[in-house]
Structure 1
Amino acid sequence: MKKIAFIFPGQGAQYSGMGKELACLYPEAMEVFDQANEVLNIDIKKLCFDGPEEQLNITENTQPAILTTSLAIAAILKNQGIIPHMVAGLSLGEYAAFSTADSIAIEEVIPLVQKRGKFMQEAVPIGVGAMAAVMGLSKSQMIEVCDLAADYGIVEVANFNCPGQIVIAGEIKAINKACEIAKDMGSKRTKILPVSAPFHSSLLSSAGTKLKNELDKIKFKETKMPVISNVDASIIGDVSTIKNNLIKQVSSSVLWEESMNKMIAEGMNTFIEVGPGKTLTSFAKKISKEITCLRVEDVKTLKETLKALEGWEVETGK
Structure 2
Amino acid sequence: MRAFVFPGQGSQKVGMGADLAEASVIAREVFEEVDDALGQKLSAIMREGPEETLTLTENAQPAIMANAIAVLRVLEKEGGIALADKASFVAGHSLGEYTALCAAGAFTLADTARLLKLRGQAMQAAVPVGVGSMCALLGADIDKAQKLASAAAEGEVCTVANDNDPTQVVLSGHKGAIERAIGLVKDFEIKRGVALPVSAPFHCTLMQPAADAMAEALGKTPPGTLWVPLYANVTAAVVSDPADVQRLLVEQVCGRVRWRESVIAMHATGVKTFVELGGKVLGPMIGRTVNDVTVTSVVSMADIEALVKEL
Q: Please classify the TM superposition score into its range, dividing by the shorter chain length.
A: over 0.9
Query: C-alpha separation between the residues in 1 aligned to 2:243 and 2:158?
Result: 30
Look up the match of 2:34. 36
Partner in structure 2 of residue 13 of structure 1: 11
Per the TM alignment, residue 180 of structure 1 is displaced from its structure 2 partner at its CA by 2.1
Q: Is the counterpart of residue 188 in structure 1 residue 191 in structure 2?
A: yes
Query: 2:176 aligned with 1:173, yes or no?
Result: yes
Aligned mates of 1:267, 1:26 — CA distance in 2: 34
User: What is the alpha-carbon distance in structure 2 between the residues aligned to residue 106 and residue 212 of structure 1?
Assistant: 19
The CA deviation at 1:304 is 4.1
Alpha-carbon offset, residue 300 of structure 1:
3.8
Query: Is 1:89 the counterpart of 2:92 in the alignment?
Result: yes
Structure 2 partner of 1:22: 20
Distance in structure 1 (CA, Å) of the matches to 2:97 and 2:150: 29
Match of 1:111 among 104, 110, 114: 114
CA-based RMSD of the aligned residues comes to 1.3
- Judge conservation of contact 2:46–2:54 (CA < 8 Å) in 1: yes
1:246 matched to 2:244: no
3-state SS, counterpart of residue 216 of structure 1: helix
Query: After alignment, is 242-251 or 174-183 more displaced?
Result: 174-183
Structure 2 gaps of 5+ residues are: none
Note the C-alpha offset of 1:289: 2.3
Using the size of structure 2 for normalisation, the TM-score is 0.95
In structure 2, relative to structure 1, the CA distance for the partners of 1:292 and 1:82 (3 Å cut) is farther
Query: When the two structures are superposed, what TM-score results if normalisation uses the length of structure 1?
Result: 0.93
AA in 1 matched with 2:11:
A
Residues 10-59 of structure 1 deviation map (CA, whole Å, 9 limit, x = unaligned): 11100011111112212222111111011112101111122111110111
**Would the aligned equivalents of 2:203 and 2:252 in 1 still touch at CA under 8 Å?**
yes
Quote the Cα distance in structure 2 between the aligned partners of 1:226 and 1:219: 16
Equivalent positions of 1:48-197 (< 5 A) are 48-79=46-77, 80=79, 81=81, 83=83, 84-151=87-154, 153-197=156-200
Structure 1 residue 299: Cα displacement: 2.9
* Sequence identity percentage: 36
Q: Distance in 2 between matches of 1:33 and 1:281?
A: 24
Q: Distance in 2 between matches of 1:220 and 1:82?
A: 20
After superposition, what is the alpha-carbon deviation per residue over 1:109-129, rounded to whole angstroms, capped at 9, x for unaligned?
111100000000000111111
* Paired residues, number: 306
**Other structure's SS at 2:254 match:** coil
* SS of corresponding position for 2:214: helix
1:266-285 paired onto structure 2 within 5 Å: 266-276=269-279, 278-285=280-287
Q: Using the TM superposition, give the Cα deviation of residue 82 of structure 1 relative to its aligned residue in structure 2, in angstroms.
A: 5.2
Looking at structure 2, the residues matched to 87 and 190 of structure 1 have their Cα atoms a distance apart, in angstroms, of 31
Deviation at 1:297, TM superposition (A): 1.4
Q: 1:302 aligns with which of 291, 304, 308?
A: 304
Consecutive unaligned residues in structure 1, runs of 5 or more: 313-318
The amino acid across from 1:167 in the alignment is V
2:144–2:190 Cα contact (<8 Å) kept: no
